[in-house]
Amino acid sequence: MSFLKKLKEKFTQQQEPDSSPEKFKDGLTKTRVSFSERVNNLVARYRKVDEEFFEELEEVLIGADVGVSTVMELIDELKTEVKRRNIQDSKDVRSVISEKLVDIYQGEDAESPKLDIQEGRLNVVLFVGVNGVGKTTTIGKLAHKLKSEGKSVLLAAGDTFRAGAIEQLEVWGERTGVDVIKQSAGSDPAAVMFDAVQAAKARKVDVLLCDTAGRLQNKVNLMKELEKVKRVIEREIPFAPHEVLLVLDATTGQNAMVQAKQFSQATDVSGIVLTKLDGTAKGGIVLAIRNELSIPVKFVGLGEKMDDLQEFDAEQYVYGLFADLVEEA
């Protein structure tokens, strides 16, 4: 049985509309329609798998924002695999592509990366990222997710400079029934974090989610500010923050890669949250980030609803990317 058919068999058993595989399938519609159309056109033009076929496939993958170095690696592995399996018909390459995409994403990781939330401690998650990527919305959605899993949550309004940022977080606090620790606009973000940690300790909450400023145009000051925030948190809670999540907007494509490189150079980013994946036809950026920066994508935003923030799963992602081709596999 081909890899695509195995994915179909695995995920079509979960028929509920709100199941995670269906959310990936729906959320990746724009990328899938664009990608499937181009792959199908390629297969229709090339009955045989030759060098020209691979050259055009290269263009298709780069067009989906998979990233040049990732595409080069993928094409090399595909050529080896096609030769090893003696694949002649171009239609049969589709399943091998899907298989290799999962391999490239997962690497040596057997399981999808989970958020490092442990019982019996105050878990601190620090969110970083430029303004406008959906950072505050992501914090609100994650608060909803954690609370629905039975965890107690507190929010820290550490973005004290952007107009309306504190109020925006408060709105999410009201929606999710989670308290927000704040100071006045323009306050020292590190002071807000100190207050938030003390409040979280006193209330014995499970998870503290911390918002931060995102003025990348003033990069040096911003990065110094983030370091100060991290020092304050670590001083109060050894080994915290337990996660530093970089929020990126998938619709910005390769610009998201630039941001990821800048933040990962300045702070210890432990995972990526890729927002607005449903709004782009270039969803291959997930693979580029994972493969080129070795930072796992932990969550993806697949819609506007409160529960549309999904834990990233490489197989579900590839299923969402190839679902239209599975029918013909």
List the beta strands (DSSP E) in 110-194: 123-128, 153-156, 180-181
Residue 94 CB partners (closer than 8 Å, separation 6+):
4, 39, 43, 322, 325, 329
Tokens of 276: 């607005």
Q: What distance in Å separates the CA atoms of residue 156 and residue 189, rounded to the nearest whole number? A: 9
Residues 139, 164 contacting (CB under 8 angstroms): no
Beta bridge partners of 311: 299
Strands (E), the chain: 123-128, 153-156, 180-181, 207-210, 243-249, 271-275, 297-301, 309-311
Identify whether 189 is preceded by a cis peptide bond (ω within 30 of 0). no
Q: What is the dihedral of CA 250, 254, 257, 259, to 10 degrees?
A: -80
98-131 as b/e, with b when 16 or more CB fall inside 10 Å?
bbbbbebbbeeeeebbebeeeeeebbbbbbbbbe
The DSSP result for 235-293, as a single string, is HHSTT--SEEEEEEEGGGTHHHHHHHHHHHHHS---EEEEE-GGG-S-TTHHHHHHHHH
Q: Residue 80: what are its φ and ψ, rounded to 5°?
A: -60, -45
- For residue 324, the Cα-to-chain-centroid distance in whole angstroms is 23
Binding residues for GTP: 129-136, 211-215, 275-278
